[in-house]
Amino acid sequence: MDRGTKICLMLATIGCLAGPLAHAADGAWTFGTEDRDHPELRFTRDGKTVFYVGCGHAFGLHAVYPGGPRKVDAKAVIMVATAKARMQFRGEIGEAHDDDPPNTTHFLQWDLGYRRQDPALYGAGWKKLERRFLDLLASGQPLTISAEGKSYTLPAVDAPDWKKQFTDRC
């Protein structure tokens, strides 16, 4: 195979691999509060929620699961990463929500992996983990969400003043 053909094949391969990732980035970050003034940070595309973090009676992380389809209640793990840091989240596959993108699987984790009955829930160690996660989101870098060798990338969180408002209410 000549050099020109190799370059064309390489560019075509990059285009095929980058296409789904670029598509995931179309959308917007928003910060708001729900009826009870609980904070919600979300990335939506076409009116559908791709990634969500909120707190109220619990701290919730919801994301489109990048791995293959899984059954509801199956254990699952996702990685949220930037170029400089990453965090792993162990959770489960949840029921589809009305605002999920079509043909996707819903990942969720409650309370950063702490059990509801754990006396350390919302203690110093939990708060340190929460700060680390919020710092990761506020890094100003794109976020890669991965599982099972598959991933999608979201743009850097750009919702105005979201972190201060989130921590003030959470």
Decide if 23 contacts 46 (C-beta within 8 A). no
Whether the Cβ atoms of residue 114 and residue 163 lie closer than 8 Å to each other: no
pTM: 0.83
DSSP category for residue 155: P
Q: Read off the tokens for 44.
A: 């939506």
In this structure, what token pair is assigned to residue 55? 């707190």
Matching residue, tokens 């105005």: 160
Q: pLDDT per position in the chain (170 positions), as tens? A: 443 333 333 333 333 333 343 344 589 999 999 889 999 999 999 999 999 999 998 999 999 999 999 999 999 999 999 999 999 999 999 999 999 999 999 999 999 999 999 999 999 999 999 999 999 999 999 999 999 999 999 999 999 999 999 999 98
Q: Per residue in 84-103, is it b (16+ CB within 10 Å) or e — as a string?
A: eeebebebbbbeeeeebbee
Which of 26, 161, 137, 126 lies closest to 84, judged by CA? 137
Angle value at C-alpha 122, between 58 and 135, nearest 5 degrees: 85
